[in-house]
Amino acid sequence: MPSLLGVYDPEVGETVDARPLRTADDLRSWLRTAPADGFVFKPVWGIGGSQVLVFTGSAPDSSETAVTLAGDRFDAERLVEVSRTPPRVESSAAVRSQTYLLEQRIVPHPRLVELAGPTLSCVRVVTLIGLDGVPAILGAVYKIQPEPLGIDHLSHGAIGSWVDLERGTLGAGRSRHHFGYTAVIPGTDRGFIGFQLPHWAEVKKIAVQAATVMPWARAIGWDIGISERGPVLIEGNAEWSTALLQIPAPRGLMTGELKRLYDTLAAARTTRRWGRRPGRTSSVAKPAAGP
């Protein structure tokens, strides 16, 4: 996983070595010693890549200014300003809008940089714990982001390419903005169908291992970045977006173990809600006692 460098928060923020990280002055001091290869500034709560900034390092003329993948400059005051803008979240989430993680930047594998550019485009690997209690992979999609945004979400223009689970090769891709399939990275003449993802066996292994750690969560969408040193687990998503997985999929996903699990849990829920009351002999189901 990416190393945590610190947490910025106006009340409780601090670095991993216990220095305060609560004000613009604290951030300015931290920027002077930030990693040379950059860092990530991201909200603790957020969806769709909202408010996520990826920096490649310091500006040539100032150690107190960080530069994004797209070349935008941010000093401490501007980072504080970003933190005061609430990120996009699930409607039911209660958030501390000014709490931000400072994380190690993961540089994509050189072959992936050559394919699509410097943004860390992750593989969304969805794991499913079936009726036998054993985690397996439901499907995987590689998110191709050719723009230097640092965000690989499909709502930001990325393409989702279906991944062959056995070989780790890319299939045709689709986006949220066009109905048709595509075989070419937007803005280029580079095709990606058949491209072999590096470290594919390790990617699958880390996803299944992560699912094993959380057996109470039936399905999780893991975002896994692929660096030169191997796969890196970026995050797990309980709301893993069926659309992201289904949009480029060559078939419907409600089959096999997912369908069996769905039907079994649905039947169990119906039984709990409409089971017979003790002592009744009628064959007509009645609402169960209690809430």
pLDDT in tens, 103-152: 999 999 999 999 999 999 999 999 999 888 899 999 999 999 999 988 88
Beta strand segments in 44-134, E:
53-59, 62-68, 73-74, 100-104, 123-129
Residue ending a domain, choose from 104, 137, 157: 104
Whether 19 maps to a domain, the answer reads: yes
Whether 117 maps to a domain, the answer reads: yes
Rounded Cα gap, residues 1 and 10, in angstroms: 26
Taking the model in full, what pTM does it have?
Answer: 0.84
Based on the fold, state whether residues 97 and 136 are members of the same structural domain: no
Based on the fold, state whether residues 96 and 131 are members of the same structural domain: no
Distances in whole angstroms, Cα of residue 242 to Cα of each of 59, 103, 163, 260: 40, 28, 15, 17
Based on the fold, state whether residues 100 and 114 are members of the same structural domain: no
Whether 54 maps to a domain, the answer reads: yes
Structural domain including 20 reads 4-104
DSSP 125: E
CA Rg, the chain, in Å?
22
Based on the fold, state whether residues 144 and 237 are members of the same structural domain: yes
Based on the fold, state whether residues 69 and 137 are members of the same structural domain: no
Q: Which of 126, 143, 135 lies closest to 242 in space, CA to CA?
A: 126
Rounded Cα gap, residues 19 and 85, in angstroms: 24
Whether 289 maps to a domain, the answer reads: no
Based on the fold, state whether residues 67 and 161 are members of the same structural domain: no
* pLDDT single digits (tens) 236-281: 988 888 888 898 998 888 888 888 988 998 888 777 766 544 444 4
Based on the fold, state whether residues 96 and 163 are members of the same structural domain: no
